[in-house]
Amino acid sequence: MQRREPQSRLIQAIRDMFLLPDLRRKLLFTLGILVVFRFIAHAPLPGVDFTALSNLFAQNQLFGMLDLFSGGAMRRFSVATMGVYPYITSSIIMQLLVPVIPNLQALSQQGEIGQRKINRITHILTIPLAALQGYGMLVILQGQNVVVSFEPLIVVTVVASMTAGTMFLVWLGELITERGIGNGISLIIFAGIIAGLPTMLGQSILAASDNPMGLVVFIILVLATLVFVVAFIEAHRRIPVQYARTTFRSGRMYRQSGATYIPLRVNTAGMIPLIFAIAVVTLPATIASYFANQSSPNFANTIMHVFNPGATFPLGLVYWGAYFLLVIGFTFFYTMIIFEQLGLAKRLQEQGGFIPGIRPGKATADYLDRIIRLITFGGALSLGLVAIMPFIAQGITSVATITVSSMALLIVVGVALDTMKQVEAQLTMRRYEGFLK
């Protein structure tokens, strides 16, 4: 059988996606939900001066970066201003609490029923987190003279609307997960980034048109980072595992051995360390914004200037250096928690599996701990380099007007690869060739 060229295989896979009725229905359903999300992102809320809000986002790179993840919803001050990030925060909190609180740990061991209960608690926790985040955003905007009126009724209405918008987006994401293709929450974030990326890049390229060589180098660095992110996400170490199987034939017992492997990812923590790190590193500037005075600059204004992602060398070393170290620390912290919850050594022993040359039980657990620490060290350094790549690119090219968020790249690449793999699996089950080889 003649092997098809990659280009023809890709075109054929796209055709097959829409020829299969059930897969076509899932794809169209997913696209329809994402269109609804984009409509919601354009439904504005009252109570702000939109001209002042637009100027604030144009002058503050931190707000501009946050607006990128909302797909422009924050700049428009729409119902979807906060996106699904309160739900992401709630999910992270629950993941950290499960191994600590015995009742939650017991629920996590009850299979699908326990997972549903944990999901319900996560949804309930999202509501106060979304309300608190919405109110905090209003207070920050008031300090920047963007909020027109801070009357209690308007504040309650706006906060309730933003909270309802977040919960509605979470519901849309879960519909995608249940009836569409891919992880719905991730696709909502993915759609927001993709929707806001062309406008941001277009404005930045126009602003950097006076330095064409630096712009070309910057684009090359971004593409190189993109390739590195793809390799980084897919990188893993295979740990060989053998299983002793017992079969009965003609009344006699036979022992057979089956070999497989455990793929330990270099980036087990995903983008979670970036979220933790950026939340911590932006906290000083966020708190300082409550006390900053534009007419008479004070110490709070200095803090906002220092902890600014748009700061150039050498002042930018404070923000980006802290970001780099926090990413490494949170990568180790979160990976160890996830690995502890998996209990790989215990599962292997229960299933009759063993690593060749390693005794089952504690010796296997110590071996896996040592391996996961080694690969996590490399993964943490790589994730830290990806995190500060915008600062490195600005230093090399002297193009300070363009900032491509490393978190945005990780999300876009990760979600795209995950969705492609799910489509690939659907095609493979029906004996069609997929995207990937």
Same domain, 418 and 367: no
- Specify the CATH number for the domain of residue 255: 1.10.3370.10
Between 203 and 129, whose confidence is greater? 129
Q: What would the two tokens of residue 306 be?
A: 């220092």
Query: At residue 400, does pLDDT exceed 70?
Result: no
Residues 219 and 330 in one domain: yes
Amino acid at 295: S
Cβ(434)–Cβ(5) under 8 Å?
no
pLDDT in tens, 251-285: 554 444 556 778 888 888 777 787 778 777 877 77
Same domain, yes or no, for 60 and 146? yes
Angle in degrees, CA 286, 287, 292, rounded to 5: 90
| pLDDT of 9 | 63
Higher-pLDDT residue of 64 and 367 is 367
pTM above 0.85, yes or no: no
Q: Are residues 285 and 308 in the same domain?
A: yes
Residues 55-80 pLDDT 10s: 777 666 666 666 766 767 787 888 88
Q: Residue 316: give the domain boundaries.
A: 210-400
Tell me: do 67 and 128 sit in the same domain: yes
Check whether residue 193 and residue 253 sit in a common domain.
no
For the chain, what is the domain count?
2
**What does the DSSP assignment read for 1-42?**
-PPPPHHHHHHHHHHHHHHSHHHHHHHHHHHHHHHHHHHHTT
In angstroms, what is the C-alpha Rg of the chain? 24
Within 388-434, residue ranges assigned H as helices are 389-397, 406-429
C-beta atoms surrounding 290 within 10 Å: 12
240 & 357 share domain: yes
